[in-house]
Amino acid sequence: MPDPNAYAAHEGLVGDARARPELWRLAAGLGIVLVLYVTLNAVLFAFIGQLLQPDQAQGLLHGTSTSAALILLLSFGFLTLGVAIAARQMQHRSLAAILGPRRLLLQQFWMVLRALVILGLIMAALPPYGMGETLTQNLALSTWLLLLPVSVIAVLIQTSAEEVLFRGYIQQCLAARFRSPAIWMGVPSVLFAAGHYAPGVTGENALLVAIWACIFGLLAADLTARSGTLGPAIALHFLNNAVALLFISLPETLSGLALYLLPYDMSETGTLRQWLFVDFAVMTVSWLTARLALRR
């Protein structure tokens, strides 16, 4: 476990949460988040479903069309709304307090994002080239470019929402109650991993994907605790998902905005599993790069 002094900046996020650190408040707050998120999504999808044919409605659930992917990603805004309401009602905290100082958040977000983009360009220029399989064109380049501004915003909303919940609300509430980083970093990361455990979609890769998500959660938690804002974690999460959702995507879920598709799905145990192990290494290098960027 890192030196607790390295996480001194985290106190700026946790300080006002210490006034109401009871675990029942966190549990009730998560209940509010869940109810609001499920209810608002149900209303949204019921309304949109009335406007679509049955086959189109099925595609909406998987995000395999452009409109469906945008709707699914933008619907994560309900998650941020739920956290904002829960924090206000249960801990008397604002969403701004969870995010961290606005100016510092933006500064750190851009610092880390810029460093990670440079890292990505360097890695793309190095061999091996491609992913060993022929990619399928999903969107015409002109269409993809036209959609790119709103696609980027949609991915940013989705990734920010997850960071606000896991590295923001849950992590800060636990840190207000427990001193050990093993708890306030570990518990949200395990919950984040549980949310990514989907044997019905990922098949035999389900546990590996969940482990990947848990490690990602720990690294994002570390960046948040070192920086004192959610900016670096959002930047790391955003770039990771932007590559996977907007550039080269898997075909079965949230592929509607991608320029290219891979010729296999998440349950494939051959080539995909090999790339998952590569992704572990890329994730670690990206985390180290983000830490270096924050030291400037």
The rounded distance, in Å, linking the Cα atoms of 1 and 80 is 30
Indicate the pLDDT class of residue 279, thresholds 50, 70 and 90. Answer: confident
What would the pLDDT profile of 126-166 be if each residue is shown by its tens digit? 876 666 678 899 999 999 999 999 999 999 999 999 999 99
What pLDDT is stored for residue 56 in this prediction?
61
What pLDDT is stored for residue 275 in this prediction?
76
Cis peptide before 128 (omega within 30 of 0): yes
The rounded distance, in Å, linking the Cα atoms of 223 and 230 is 8
Buried b (16+ CB within 10 A) or exposed e, 253-289: bbbbbbbbbbebbbbbeeebeebbeebeeebeebbeb
What would the pLDDT profile of 177-227 be if each residue is shown by its tens digit? 999 999 999 999 999 999 999 888 788 888 988 999 999 999 999 999 999
Vertex 106, ends 246 and 73: CA angle to 5°? 30
Here the tokens at position 148 are 């790119």
What pLDDT is stored for residue 93 in this prediction?
96
Here the tokens at position 239 are 């770039």
Of the chain, the percentage scoring pLDDT greater than 90 comes to 72
In Å, what is the CA distance from 262 to each residue of 134, 140, 188, 198, 212?
7, 16, 31, 19, 20
Vertex 20, ends 19 and 21: CA angle to 5°? 110
The rounded distance, in Å, linking the Cα atoms of 161 and 231 is 12
The rounded distance, in Å, linking the Cα atoms of 32 and 63 is 26
The rounded distance, in Å, linking the Cα atoms of 131 and 271 is 9
pTM for the full predicted model: 0.93
What would the pLDDT profile of 1-46 be if each residue is shown by its tens digit? 556 578 999 999 999 999 999 999 999 999 999 999 999 999 998 8
